[in-house]
Amino acid sequence: MTYLTKRGYALLDVASALQKSIRRGDAKLAGYMAQELVASGYVEYVWKRLLTISAEDCHGIITQEIKALHESFQFINKGKKELKGRIFVSKAVLIMAQALKSRDADHLQCLMYDQKLGISDEEIEMAITAVDQSEKIELPEYTYDVHTRKGRMSGKTKEQFFQEEQQGLSPKAPGLFDNLI
């Protein structure tokens, strides 16, 4: 079963597009995807993704800034019935899209230790409910990699993922593992 966002995207495709567009410095698409998750009721999920992306793809100590923005978002919404503070999500996306990129943390865990962490597609899908469809934009092809159902079905591999995502970093900081990719 595939869960959909407000505009009818597959939830995991939106999460993939969010991460890949941040990785490539595309703040407009990243912002659209983040706000699609918020509008679809996946507020905590978008913050989990943003924190993870900050650790996996951004150079330096950006994660602390994203954590502070999340805490500010929670403070603004404390005791509120209607969601406020979407600006904090947008600010997090802009900071990460404009930050130097480095996949060293992810490469360290995957290439040097080969440990697989995270939540499976099935676990995420079981936890999230579907919502109505409205206007949509077409997702870029880079959305669909080995981490998405469509990407796996088209034969995408982990090796392609490492190569394509390394090439897509923008702006990019030199990495410790660049010679391995």
Q: Residue 147: which of 28, 52, 26 has the closest Cα? A: 52
The share of the chain scoring above pLDDT 70, in percent, equals 86
Residue 26 has pLDDT above 70, yes or no: yes
Average pLDDT over residues 48-58: 96
Residue 15 has pLDDT above 80, yes or no: yes
Quickly name the fold that domain 11-180 has.
Zinc Finger, Delta Prime; domain 3 (1.20.272)
Q: How is residue 160 written in tokens? A: 């392609």
Average pLDDT over residues 2-31: 95
Residue 60 has pLDDT above 80, yes or no: yes
Q: What residue ranges do the domains of the chain occupy?
A: 11-180
Average pLDDT over residues 150-157: 93
